[in-house]
Every structure is written in structure tokens, then in C-alpha cells.
Amino acid sequence: MDMDVLNMFVIAGGTLAIPILAFVASFLLWPSALIRIYYWYWRRALGMQVRYANYDDYQFCYSYRGRPGYRPSILMLHGFSAHKDMWLSIVKFLPKNLHLVCVDMPGHEGTTRSDLDDYSIIGQAKRIHQFVECIKLNRRPFHLVGTSMGGNVAGVYAAQYPEDICSLTLICPAGLPSTTDSKFIKQLRELQESERIDRIPLIPSTPEEMADMLKLCSYVRFKVPQQILQGLVDVRIPHNDFYRKLFLEIVDEKSRHSLHENMNKIKVPTQVIWGKQDQVLDVSGASVLASAIPDCHVYLLENCGHSVVVERPRKTANLILEFLALLYSMDNNKKQA
């Protein structure tokens, strides 16, 4: 074989080998770095841009896509110990001309974390209102979406700042009493009785605990490689002390039933989406909301657990779009009447 041709193959092979070896090394040695790169790439692929907003000395981190238009902007509030990127699976199925905003909740990811901050549900709703005013999102009423803890905050926000929003989507929201104890609530009771409350199932410290948490939150059984489980744990461990403090705050008497205490004040059209097989927050909460909120549309998803956003992203996105289209149609009919 000609030496020039041989050298060309060697150079080409070496060029391909370097990124492959880098990927393998990251996967085996630094899986947490690979997870961060994954989210960065996914944000770029979907056109989401990261920005910061400041309220006095407090900083909010958020991502957005699109600009405010004739359709309402959509603000999304994530759940406990998550971050703004958890919404990317939903964003994938939403039109690019919609104005979307995903914010890191107080103390999470790029948003300020302070020991002096009020992390009760009411306190978090106040912080989100500050964020909304910072980016002037409430120039026109917007659609608010929240899941789990974020659903609790979203419901309280709708009750406390009704002039800001035009409609609401609650996905498996916390903050409601339940006649049926979920698997998660039973586990908490057992831990409390054994005085091992530091072992909260939603705050994993090992790959095995992470796997258990994924099983608890999802009806769909995802096959997650051990290295990825390790990476997910590595990303969370530096924040676990904060998560424990936050968890105790939101299950405290002041916040435990915040949504329930405020739901009679919610006057905007409301959509409730819940996984029928939710093992974290029992699906009976959906009927509690339906009985209290006048214009409430409930959708229960078969073969779906607490992680609705991850398990059924396309279905969830379509339900939100259909709900907004219905409201837009009703609004037009009223104007023409």
C-alpha cells in the first residue's frame, strides 16, 4: 500500500479515536460531566438560551425560547431537587413560536441559595413573583405550569397573584391531603418511626438509592446503566444537605397543604394532569382539585407514575397545547358573541 494512503488512514483513524476515547473515558471516569454536556447539547439543539435575572442581590437562572406574542407565554416550575432542564423533554414537542420560560426554583441549580431565604411554599411563590417582575413576564397574563413541588408553588401563585396569569396546568402537584397513602408516604412514616428520617427516598446518596428513587417516581422501568446512575448521584450529592433542609421545610405544617388551603382562590381555567400509577403523590388529589376549582379539566394518564414529564412528554405537551387552544377558542367565541 502507498505510504501516503497508509498515513491518511492512520491520521483519519486517530482523529476518530480521540473523541471516541474521550467519550468512553468520560462515561467511565466522569459520568457527571457527561450528564452536564448532555443537557447543554440538548438545550442548544432545542434552541433554549440560558439567562440570569437579578432582584436586588438575588439571582435567578432561567432558560427561554421565543418571544412574547399573541399567544400567552408559558412559565414552567420544576419539582423538588430538579432543575430547569427537566422540561426539555416537553419543550421538544412544543411549537418553536411559543414563548417558553423555564426557571430554576429558589436554591436550585443556578438560582441563589441562601440559608436566610424562606423556602416554604408561600416563600417560593413570592420569589417566583419577583422573577416574573424581573423579566416583565406579567406585562400580559401568562400560562403557568408546575409539577410536584412546583405544582404546589404554581397553585399558590395562581391564588396569590391572580392578575399575573390567564390559565394554569398542575402536573401531579404536592400540597394536597389524601385519603390514600402513597408508597412514598408509607416509606416516610416507616423512616420516622425508626428515627431514620435522614434516609429520605427522594434524596439518594448511592447508585442503588438512585435506582430505587427512579422506580418510585416512574411506572415505566428505564434501564439506566450503572455509570449513569453514578453520574446522577455525583451531580446531586453536593446539594443533598440543602435538599434535606428544603424537604423538611415543604413537609412542615406551614407548607404541607398549601395548595389545598389556597385552591378555593384559584379563579383561572385550570388543567390537572396526573399519572394513575403515581407512587409519590396519590392520584386521588386530582379529584380534590376538580371539586374545588370551578373550571378544572382533569386528565389521568394510564401506565404513568409521578414523573409524567419524563414518562409521557409528547402526551403532556399535546394536552397543554389542546387546553390552550380550547381556551383561545372560547375566548374568541366570547368576543364574537
Task: Note the pLDDT of residue 11.
Answer: 41
For position 30, what pLDDT does the model report?
Answer: 53
Q: Given 63, 148, 167, 258, which residue is catalytic?
A: 148
The per-residue b/e assignment along 238-273, b for 16 or more CB within 10 angstroms, e otherwise, is ebbebbeebbebbeeeebbbbbbbbbeebebbbbbb
Residue numbers in the chain where pLDDT is lower than 70 = 1-31, 194-198, 331-337
Residues 6+ apart with CB under 8 A from 183: 216, 279, 280
| Given the residues 104, 164, 278, 282, the one annotated as active site | 278
pLDDT at 21: 35
- For residue range 286-310, list pLDDT tens digits in order: 999 999 999 899 999 999 999 999 9
The C-alpha atoms of residue 15 and residue 7 are separated, in whole angstroms, by 12
Q: CA-CA distance, 154 to 144, in Å (whole number)?
A: 7
Q: Which domains, from first to last, does the chain contain?
A: 47-336 (3.40.50.1820)
What is this structure's pTM? 0.90
3-class DSSP state for residue 247? helix
Largest alpha-carbon pair distance within the chain?
A: 83
Distance CA 31, CA 245 (A): 27
Q: In the prediction, which pLDDT does 337 show?
A: 58
Catalytic residue (one of 63, 99, 306, 307): 306
- Which pLDDT belongs to residue 328? 84
Catalytic residue status for 148? yes
Helix (H, G, I), strand (E, B) or coil at 30: coil
Known catalytic membership, residue 120: no
Active site residue 278: yes
Q: Beta strands 58-65 and 49-55: pairing type?
A: antiparallel
Amino acid at 127: R
